[in-house]
Structure 1
Amino acid sequence: MSFGFMGVQIGYSLQNANTSRILSAIGADPHNLSLFWLAAPLAGLFVQPIVGLSSDKTWTRLGRRIPFILGGAIVSALAMFFMPNSEHFAQLLPAVFFGAMMLLFMDVSFNVTMQPFRALVSDMVDESQRNKGYAIQSFLINVGAVVGSLLPFLLTNVFHVANEPGAGQKVAPTVIWAFYFGGGVLLLSVLWTALRTKEYPPEEYAKYNNLEDQVEEKVSFMDLLKNIPLTMKQLAITQFFSWFALFLMWVYTTQGIAEHVWGASDAHSKEFNEAGNWTGVIFAAYSVFAALFSLAITPLANKFGRKNVYMISLILGGLGLISMLFIQDKNLLLIPMVGVGISWAAILALPYAILSSSLPPKQTGVYMGLFNATITIPQIAAGLLGGVILSAVDGKAINMLVIAGVSMAIAGVCAKLFITAKEND
């Protein structure tokens, strides 16, 4: 079921590690980078609830979630093919605007694809398997993240693809070819899920969820908002601080380590591009640690409770981000990624495991979509405030990672204080 999510995450990780690099190369001001990144959370805020509501009410020959997964994958792959080539469409739009448009298309389609994957696990496994189901999904997501994050580095050092723009180029060939490869793998892996997963037809789904005797009621979107489960509201507090931190990390890591470790600020310089590749390496490292920790989440959550594992994981991630301020050796940057990886694995699995048991089966998709607002709103806040905060910390991007770490640690404290769900707690 989650194999296609691995391919989607390859694309998503390429975007996370290289968007700032691409936008800087085609002319974006560093103080405005966070504004460009608003495309992702804005897309998710509106798209995921719509997709969730639509997939709850859809049944086709392919199923209820699979058509959305497949359609989103096709569009996101196309956007991946175009974005690193934005400079070649200057006759249509300035390169920065074309790149921003492709980023928006990519993010909208990623959201169309990702949301049904979350609901698919909830649809297809019972409560006793939820920890395991979401942990496996987290594992596959992080395998994809490792591949996506490492691609530019591998293309440079193994396949000897040029890592600096050639004459008349702005974006390094390593990035362009990485996006080509990522888009292709995304499509193939999603096709595997679409062709191999057989969703429960409506009659079976109703039987397994004891819905056979329930009278079908028309529920408006406003009714859904009024009846949001308490667990979702409680999770929203923790989600705000954790995703605020993640957004700052994704936006400012390349610039932060380029300045702090390489002493480079020119986006076209050899050193800046080396820092861009190394961002992919350390992002791959946190994904490796996340993949490994996802294997331990089920036994740990069963023994110590989901909430406690969630809290400790987030605090470890915060400490990892803060420690980057004190490191100027690129290899030592791998150490903080242990904590970041643990927190990332927990963020991908535990909120959904905690939430899923409190959702009504008939509205699982739409509530999973609405829950995405707890991911997108903090990112929008971080995007709007990013430039202001950067100026407040003397324009040093490495300080943005410290702020991200503090926010992640606060998220851990909030998980302990505010989540009162009793199930497996």
Structure 2
Amino acid sequence: MKKRKLSFWEIWNMSFGFLGIQFGFALQNANTSRIFETLGAKVDELAVFWLAAPITGLLVQPIIGYLSDRTWHPKLGRRRPYFLVGAILSSIALCVMPNSPTLWVAIGTLWIMDSSINISMEPFRAFVGDNLPESQRTKGFAMQSFFIGLGAVIGSALPYIFSKWLGISNTAAEGVIPDSVKWSFYIGAFVFLTAVLWTVFASKEYSPQEIESFEDHIPETAGELTPQENSNRILKLNKSGFIMTIFGLISNGWLIYLNLDKELYILTGGILLVGILFLLAAYIRQSSGINGFVIIMTDLLYMPKTMKQLAVVQFFSWFALFSMWIYTTQAVTSYVYGSTDPTSQLYNDGADWVTVMFAVYNGVAALVAFLLPVLAKFTSRKITHLVSLCLGGLGLLSITIFNTPELLIISMIGVGVAWASILSMPYAMLAGALPPKKMGYYMGVFNFFIVIPQIVAASILGFLLNTFFANETIYALIIGGISMIVSGLLTLIVHDRGTIVINE
């Protein structure tokens, strides 16, 4: 059997939930640093406090992907139960976040909120792979990009809209989140839940029996491998674990000896932890057999070739994005508006303008989402991604030469084109290279290469700014712009086996 081609409105319905997910995600990205700084965080601590988000994704997405591959509910299906649970939890966290009484409550809420968003978001990528034939997957991911852009436009701009158009205050007493931010998060909670409910009840999924009829859906078990192949996997896990553990121990010892910034321990400690997890996976595989944890760790070493190549591209592009999300508010308020005081009018006007900038790049992403498949048809998905990322890198670099708020909109146009491509082209290239029976958790593992660069950014950006750039946050955006251009150039090494078909 072959999967049937879905109509435009069927693809619309199955992607509509991303409107709400990105609405909440945009509020998080545009306002978290502002909330942290209002509650007393220092500039050089922001990257570390943001770590809750990527670490949560690192842990949650592979687990949710693995579980959703093995879930079937008679009414809600395979992926939709996770959409629903994540939306309910995210909406609650969005209401709590702007009412955090202390910094540590805000950090904890960010952890919960990002976990919940990841529960909803991860299965959406696999949802496209499950329901659409290869010829429609680029269109499916482009539709997701459209809703991501649309949701993020409104979500990012809400504090500005409430402040400038509705007269809701964008300032408050020291340690208190402004009302414009609070009401934005309340609206975000409602939109998140409503949009996901639309997809849950307006979409259908293929049953496990139907999936098996489309593919040879055989679960991974030890019986699939010869004893020699299984031994080779155990050996590779042990070897990788040993190397990373030794490197992690030496690196941590070196940092302790030199008494360097604590942020760097996040990176070296993470390497040590992954090394230990590889060794644990090898031990379990040898003594007890295969389980979900072993599969996830093993597949890090046995990824498809295209996935490995895309991992390098993802590293540099998401490093750039994380630099932008963390430091744009501080860079714009200090570099353009000339204020670093979170209680001042200038600072909050600048912070509001950053939400407009973020709305612009997301709006551009929504507008160009359906143009990228057309460009890819006449060139290739690789060339499309290369051009888009270079435009994004130039956009970030141009912030350093624009000294008026209005001109910063031009910078965000390039970032918007890159964002649209980042949300669609890597997934379209990846989906055709993955075993369909393991689509969910491979998409979850792919999230590692979104999270790892964020952890690296959180580990070193604060150190670099403090050590070399006198905490001038504009340099974080320069580093991000260079990183995005490097990412674009690395796209040329990716082997893309898929074809572009847009006339369905």
TM-score (norm 2): 0.80
Report what 1:331 is aligned to: 406
1:20-74 per-position Cα deviation (integer Å, ceiling 9, x unaligned):
0000001111110000111111011111000000000110120110111111111
Going from structure 1 to structure 2, the CA distance change for 1:215 and 1:82 (only over 3 Å counts) comes to closer
Report what 1:218 is aligned to: 221
Report what 2:477 is aligned to: 401
CA distance in 1, matches of 2:146, 2:22: 11
Among residues 397, 411, 416, which one is paired with 2:487 in the alignment? 411
CA distance in 2, matches of 1:303, 1:366: 32
Report what 1:113 is aligned to: 120
Among residues 13, 32, 36, which one is paired with 1:23 in the alignment? 36
Among residues 276, 280, 293, which one is paired with 2:351 in the alignment? 276
Residue 225 of structure 1: how far off its partner (Å):
3.5
1:347-395 per-position Cα deviation (integer Å, ceiling 9, x unaligned):
0000000000011111000100000001000000001112112112221
1:376-421 per-position Cα deviation (integer Å, ceiling 9, x unaligned):
00000001112112112221111111111011011011111x2122
The answer to whether 1:165 aligns with 2:169 is no
1:253-286 per-position Cα deviation (integer Å, ceiling 9, x unaligned):
0000000111000111111111111010010000
Residue 302 of structure 1: how far off its partner (Å):
1.6
Residue 157 of structure 1: how far off its partner (Å):
1.3
Counterparts of 1:273-352 in structure 2, within 5 Å, are 273-352=348-427
CA distance in 2, matches of 1:200, 1:50: 21
Report what 2:139 is aligned to: 132
Counterparts of 1:8-47 in structure 2, within 5 Å, are 8-47=21-60
Residue 226 of structure 1: how far off its partner (Å):
4.1
Q: Which runs of 5+ in 2 are unaligned?
A: 1-13, 223-289
Conserved? CA contact 2:27–2:188, under 8 Å:
yes
Report what 1:81 is aligned to: 95
Conserved? CA contact 1:38–1:383, under 8 Å:
yes
Structure number with larger C-alpha Rg: 2
Report what 2:239 is aligned to: none
Residue 128 of structure 1: how far off its partner (Å):
0.3
Counterparts of 1:183-198 in structure 2, within 5 Å, are 183-198=189-204
CA distance in 2, matches of 1:21, 1:364: 37
Aligned letter for 2:304?
P
Residue 228 of structure 1: how far off its partner (Å):
1.3
Going from structure 1 to structure 2, the CA distance change for 1:127 and 1:20 (only over 3 Å counts) comes to same
Among residues 50, 64, 69, which one is paired with 1:56 in the alignment? 69
Q: Which runs of 5+ in 1 are unaligned?
A: 88-94
> Residue 266 of structure 1 aligns to a residue in which SS?
coil
CA distance in 2, matches of 1:81, 1:129: 37
CA distance in 2, matches of 1:164, 1:10: 23
Residue 131 of structure 1: how far off its partner (Å):
0.9
CA distance in 1, matches of 2:430, 2:58: 18
Going from structure 1 to structure 2, the CA distance change for 1:329 and 1:60 (only over 3 Å counts) comes to same
CA distance in 2, matches of 1:246, 1:334: 17
Among residues 262, 265, 268, which one is paired with 2:340 in the alignment? 265
> Residue 326 of structure 1 aligns to a residue in which SS?
coil
The answer to whether 1:390 aligns with 2:390 is no
1:215-262 per-position Cα deviation (integer Å, ceiling 9, x unaligned):
554264155344311111000111010000000100000000000111
Conserved? CA contact 1:317–1:408, under 8 Å:
yes
Structure 1 segments of 4 or more deviating over 4 A?
Answer: 214-217
Conserved? CA contact 1:170–1:268, under 8 Å:
no
The answer to whether 1:3 aligns with 2:16 is yes
Report what 2:233 is aligned to: none
CA distance in 1, matches of 2:449, 2:388: 19
> Residue 41 of structure 2 aligns to a residue in which SS?
coil
Report what 1:71 is aligned to: 85
Identity %: 46
CA distance in 2, matches of 1:215, 1:290: 38
The answer to whether 1:244 aligns with 2:319 is yes
CA distance in 1, matches of 2:421, 2:182: 31
CA distance in 2, matches of 1:373, 1:298: 26
The answer to whether 1:147 aligns with 2:154 is yes
CA distance in 2, matches of 1:363, 1:224: 11
1:113-160 per-position Cα deviation (integer Å, ceiling 9, x unaligned):
110011101111000001111001100110000010010000011111
Residue 422 of structure 1: how far off its partner (Å):
3.3
Aligned letter for 2:29?
N
1:190-217 per-position Cα deviation (integer Å, ceiling 9, x unaligned):
111111111111122222x233xx6554
1:293-351 per-position Cα deviation (integer Å, ceiling 9, x unaligned):
11101111122110010011001100000010011110010001111000000000000
Report what 2:304 is aligned to: 229
CA distance in 1, matches of 2:353, 2:474: 15
Aligned letter for 1:194?
V
The number of residue pairs the alignment matches comes to: 413
> Residue 317 of structure 2 aligns to a residue in which SS?
helix
Conserved? CA contact 2:87–2:116, under 8 Å:
yes
